[in-house]
Amino acid sequence: MRLVIERGELLRALGHVTSVVERRTTIPILSNVLLRAGNGKLSLKATDLEREVIEDVAATVSAPGAVTVPAHMLHDIVRKLPDGAEIEIKRDPEKERLTITAGQSRFALQTLGPEDFPDIAAGDLAHSFELGAADLKRLIEKTRFAISTEETRYYLNGIFLHVAEKGSSRTLRAVATDGHRLAQVELSRPEGAEGMPGVIIPRKTVHELHRLIEASSAPVKIGVSPSKVRFEIGTVTLTSKLIDGTFPDYGRVIPQGNDKELTVSNADFIGAVDRVSTIASERGRAVKLNITGDKLVLSVNNPEGGSATEEIGVGYTASPLEIGFNARYLLDIASQLEGDEAHFLLADPGSPTMIRDGGDDTALYVLMPMRV
């Protein structure tokens, strides 16, 4: 195996693939990246057994072949080489080393055989469709904050992506919940998604995917089977196992009859919650909302820290209500809203509250109060 490759191209690809490589792993080959040269390109692949990322980069290949080397070390080497360098990568079959040469620098890395490198056999991904990068980004960004980190409720440790009905139209919907709050966002169902199974995409895959599409605007090709999902983003392919579990019937917790509507300037609201919660202790971050007439009084009382109140003008005509929420949860949701106004649909201090975005009716949030 022998090839020459441009430093910048290789660095970018290594940046994409090595982020799935665990820093500490008990299986040595999982620390490595698989390099496969042939047909005028170098293909890089990394995995943590739950997901894998493959990226192809153009290269001048003079002898095809494959090898694995420590991923983070290779990444560090390439990162430290000078900008614009031409890198020669060569496998010395006798010494079982991979030599990397650029200018006057020369590195020899320990290798492991490519035949032992694990492969996530994706099998048949029967359902496939395309989403714009911006749409996919929106589905992720508006829901991922609500993903549970509770390992015992593993089926909540991801985003539930599925086809839903909204009135007469069909949508592709993303939902995440940690049992205290829920985020739901949808877009019209893309061609090819009909009949796809509802899938739970693991949190780490969600974050990898977001990194990969962050700087991209190209459409993303998505393939789904009941156990795997694949995202093709230009020259990068992310394949992931899905969470094997049943996402709960979340529709039951989305309130339908909440008739107390509170309309508030989102910027004012975020500022006020942020200010009064300064007083809250690290853990007991309850903020009390007292809503009467056209004013909302937010207050926090921490016996060890003091107290704070702030009043803001709101639109509210229903009967007065006092309700408590976790300040961080309020801020998490409010910071997702795009419109100038946040709409709270409330029932009582012990029932779920719905929050809608004045500037986006495809997203909704549900938040359980704190009993204060």
> Binder to other proteins among 168, 191, 303, 319 (CB under 8 A)?
303
Distance linking the first and last C-alpha atoms of the chain: 67
At 178, is the secondary structure helix, strand, or coil? coil
User: CB-hemisphere CA count at 13 Å for 371?
Assistant: 2
Q: Given the complex with other proteins, which of 29 and 253 has the nearer CB atom?
A: 253
User: CB-hemisphere CA count at 13 Å for 241?
Assistant: 12
Whether 314 and 233 have beta carbons less than 8 Å apart is answered as no
User: Among 117, 1, 15, which Cα is nearest to 59's?
Assistant: 1
Radius of gyration for the chain, computed over Cα atoms and rounded to the nearest angstrom:
25
Write the interaction track for other proteins spanning residues 61-100; mark x where CB under 8 A is met and - where it is not: ----------------------------------------
User: Among 318, 265, 337, 325, which Cα is nearest to 298's?
Assistant: 325
- The least distance separating other proteins from the CB of residue 371, rounded to whole angstroms, comes to 4
> Binder to other proteins among 252, 256, 257, 319 (CB under 8 A)?
252
Select the span of 29-37, 67-75, 212-220, 248-256 touching other proteins (CB under 8 A). Answer: 248-256
Distance (Å, rounded) from C-alpha 352 to C-alpha 115?
Answer: 53
Select the span of 167-175, 206-214, 280-288, 340-348 touching other proteins (CB under 8 A). Answer: 280-288
Write the interaction track for other proteins spanning residues 338-357; mark x where CB under 8 A is met and - where it is not: ------------x-x-----
Does 153 engage in binding with other proteins (CB under 8 A)?
yes
Does 368 engage in binding with other proteins (CB under 8 A)?
yes
User: Among 316, 288, 312, which Cα is nearest to 302's?
Assistant: 288
> Which of positions 164-203 make contact with other proteins (CB under 8 A)?
177, 179-182
Q: Given the complex with other proteins, which of 167 and 350 has the nearer CB atom?
A: 350
Does 158 engage in binding with other proteins (CB under 8 A)?
no
Distance (Å, rounded) from C-alpha 297 to C-alpha 49?
Answer: 50
List interacting residues with other proteins (CB under 8 A): 149-153, 177, 179-182, 248-250, 252-253, 280-281, 283-284, 286-288, 299-304, 307, 324, 326, 350, 352, 366, 368-372
